Amino acid sequence: MAANGMLTEEQLQGYKDEGYAIYRKPLFGPEKMQKLTDIFEEQWAAVGRKLNSELDTPHFRDERLMEFLLADEVLDLIEPIIGPNIGLWSSHFICKEPLTGKQTPWHEDSAYWKGRLSRFDKIITVWLAIDRSNKENGCMRVIPGTHRNGFSEYECVDEGQNIFPTEIKRSEIDESKAVYFELEPGQCSLHDSRIIHGAPPNTSPNRRCGYTMRYFSTEATVFPEANPGFKVWLARGRDLGGNTFVNA
């Protein structure tokens, strides 16, 4: 039985215990999903059809994306997990071109945001598949249950082989426990900001693109001095952490 018409009680408990869930139904209707895909294709073409940091926080530059980021389809999906008071933290188009050899090293999202918010226990990423995502083209993978471990220790890695210059120490990771998020276009995964995750390189002839939509409970405080030029929106409910929202 679905707890909110979307995720089941079993899925919600799984997210609490393991730090992730998979939503196999289309998140948006066909026309809305096509509109989002078209926006990505437009932005990707603008940066030369390659992985580029300019695809980070695209909603800062393109207000059309707010239709998706503040959509009830998304907020209804995550409210049972982080509560009714929801802030929009960030978004990111992530594209792995065909036959691209770089992997996304093992990391925690929260490690890159350390010092920017007061807490990380209720930050969620919705990873929406624009293209089919599978093992061959470098789908995301997680180590279940690691969202309860705190910040991990990192070490430097070869930037010629990795998207990031650092990775969680391999001695801390049991890759045999990895769960791969294989998704059809329009499906999505959800993961806790603290879970250890990464993605292998895309060795296939097929592109792999997703849109990440990231949200936080407004119980957390976003520190303005640690986020110069950064913008957050109140997506639903009310502010509990004394935050400065664009739309407040």
Mean pLDDT of 203-212: 95
pLDDT tens column, 122-170: 999 999 999 999 999 999 999 999 999 889 999 999 988 888 889 999 8
User: In this predicted model, which residue has the larger pLDDT, 78 or 165?
Assistant: 78
What phi and psi values does residue 63 have, to the nearest 5 degrees? Answer: -70, -15
Question: Model-level pTM?
Answer: 0.94
User: For residue 9, what are its two tokens?
Assistant: 């009680």
Mean pLDDT of 51-66: 86
What phi and psi values does residue 183 have, to the nearest 5 degrees? Answer: -130, 145
Give the residue extent of every domain in the chain: 9-236
User: For residue 127, what are its two tokens?
Assistant: 């990873």
Q: Fill in the amino acid letter for 224.
A: P
CATH entry 1.10.3720.10 includes domain 9-236? no
Q: Sign of torsion, CA 112 105 191 129?
A: positive
